[in-house]
Amino acid sequence: MSDAKFRDKRRQRPGSGRRLSTRRRGRRHTTSEDRSLALIFPGQGSQYVGMGRQVAEAHPLAAEVFSRADEILSFNLSRLCFEGPEEELRRTANAQPALLTCSLAILRVLEEKGLRPGLLAGHSLGEFAAWVAGGVLDFPTALTLVRKRGELMEEAARNRPGGMLAILGVERGTLKRFVGKVKEGTLAIANVNCPGQVVVSGTEPALRRLSELALQEKGARAIPLRVNGAFHSPLMKESARLFKKEIDRLKLSPARPSIICNVSARPVKTVEAIRQAMSEQMTSPVLWEASIRKMAQSGATTFVETGPGEVLSGLVRRTLDSDVHILSSGEPEKLEEVIEALGKKTDSREGEPVQHSQPSIPNPEPRDI
């Protein structure tokens, strides 16, 4: 497979020199961006053994993405995704390239079907899949970059141990006051995921004290996350400095379509703004709720979680009203629902009625980082 670059309007079928067709037999598809369609890419915590396997078996294009990842990293990443073991897949240095590959394999199938989103976003690690989808990075560059990112984050976790705690059911202003009261170490808000769900990172003594304060609130819950570091906090400062050196060496391209970035919940397009957002992400909070609201304000009415799991789908559902359509794509039947639903949406521009598939989505688990 050649280094397919996933770039807007310049995508090629892996292993061939001809352009991809943007049409599917028997169905019309648009080559222009659909501002009502947003793709969102999951972050670490959404991985599971077996992810991507059935999609790769059903779609040769997806299988080629996994094969190319094995070649780029010089180890059998696809086997780790498909077969585990789970403890190896959960390692940050492995989970990050594995999730990126799975998300981009699904994206490759959607692109082949002619779907062109108008907005992109990714949760933490997932933002790097959005950079690829937006033409900022090619796949080989992104894959080696997130592998390095994972290694640096693992190193930071060894050198400056900490953890992450999901706080549910506490008013945001109250939580900020609690964080300010904690003096037993380092503490920082890491993810603002949706109404009623905020994730905090820090040293273990600080997290214990915050948990005590939070649980004084009626109906509050404090859930430790199964991670090995205090991600999106000052404890990642040295790793972020080293990662910035990697980013500064990269040749980046302007984003198209717009990417709503984690650190500001605003669209970024220029190379300078993208480089800054990449550099700041590791120590900055993920403003996910604000990012989803920004996408909705920009015209998004359909959100497709492009990658394994349905965590982000649940966060969107809890953030926006019932008028939006939320689809996941991590399994073959879900992926076909997306293709069918958005194919009908495209056809409706020719005068046919819009029909959407709305799968059942469970309440989101606070596990993305």
Active site residues: 124, 232
CA distance 201 to 285: 10
CA distance 88 to 86: 5
CA distances from 150 to 1, 87, 90, 246, 360 (A): 25, 15, 11, 13, 32
CA distance 274 to 242: 17
Q: In what order do the strands lie in the sheet with 267-268?
A: 267-268, 258-260, 117-122, 34-41, 302-305, 325-328
Q: Which residues lie across from 192 on neighbouring strands?
A: 198
Query: Are the beta carbons of 305 and 329 closer than 8 angstroms?
Result: yes
CA distance 115 to 34: 8
CA distance 302 to 313: 11
CA distance 198 to 205: 19
CA geometry: angle 294, 272, 73, nearest 5 deg: 90
Helix then strand then coil, % of the chain, to nearest 5 = 45, 15, 40
Query: Are the beta carbons of 332 and 55 closer than 8 angstroms?
Result: yes
